[in-house]
Structure 1
């Protein structure tokens, strides 16, 4: 303790105490490296000034897509929590508890029903924050529940995909969800109901190999990674350098694998236009899109 500390009155020290700055006050843009004020992100739909589309959860996705952010939630079916009693460095049940505590969701899929420019629509959102959006039994049942709801109520289905692939902790049971979800899409087609896929960052593995690539229309957010195996795995396999932007949304659009890359600020308008054509309804006017 120095002499100045001894002379400082007790009450004065508390006035000048350094206040801690919240860790999440600023966010670094991965694209440009600039720091973005967190409070500005909701107004920008979580798109940085440089155009980087940040990953968002189901609540934000539905708020940004449905008219006036109004929608009804549809419960997803419950499934066996740990059918294989899987354990690696920790129990699968413990991983589920942590993911549920982190996201507030029971699993990776969330279903909402509301209007997109006045057209009643079912939206299914895959949450990458929940164990990488991995496709397991709960996710598969969630997809099927959304498709069945759409068929029962004669509504179009829009799916926002974001996944790292199948859930390894469920083994072959997770892989079984690929044909099951494909059959659910076929039921949509048999009932002449639109099935639109919006590919978000990242959409990979078994999700890309099933319901993510069999939509009537495929949209994607800018810069989204869309693939089965990632670029690093491919480069190590073929021992060659891949083209710039390989497997990104813009590259896939250029090569005909998706229909259009749509910025988040324009997504509701574009979806409304597509739904109006496919359902033969009139879409309500849409406000000016938020600039990318």
Structure 2
């Protein structure tokens, strides 16, 4: 554990303040060595019997100043190299950040363009699934479906419905969905396509967890409100319908022949994307399986 911490500490780049402190310590150390040497020379040379030759030798001993300036020049060279390394590291990080921002901008444009295409595709959809038989747009359809299913869940929780009543209302809702099955497929499969493409974009190596969260939030913000909740409602409705019809694991053939199966598959994938919890591990898993989400 200590070895791993030492390796991590060794890879941490030095800051400008740390470099300046190291340089100051070098200068102080050089001065201390020179001062100590000069003190020794003075102590041993300044005896009671000092000849002229000894005086000359004592004067020559101050050639240590040459060593002082050489040491200072060497320390300055080290400081310059460390500062240049720091500046190069800062420039490299700035270039990487600029590149990352450029990638994020382009990915945001891709998400916005694909959502714009999807919105234009569903704007012209009309539904006749209202209990009164009138033609409505997808927004009104989502509102009415949510209202009816919320009332169904509430009545079920309050015990106002028997099992037969509950199953009958579920089957009525399924009939309404089947009546406009093509329109529901266009909406949910189109949403699933946008989620799949966005999931593939999230595997970009330059994106971090925060970028993935922002890009996913952008997809939701650009979408018409209520689409993800509508998809969850339809998925839950199909699950309950299968339970009513007892389409268990031994009924694989009936499931395959069910005309609602493509709708269920697309809804499952949309819900899976909506439930994504972005962490370092989940981003790593996405990158490992990116081939599955290639557009």
Name the TM tier (shorter chain): under 0.3
Which structure has more RCO (C-alpha within 8 Å, separation ≥ 6)?
2
- Structure (1 or 2) with the greater helix fraction: 2
Whose Rg is larger? 2
- Structure (1 or 2) with the greater strand fraction: 1
TM-score of the aligned structures, taking structure 2 as reference length: 0.20
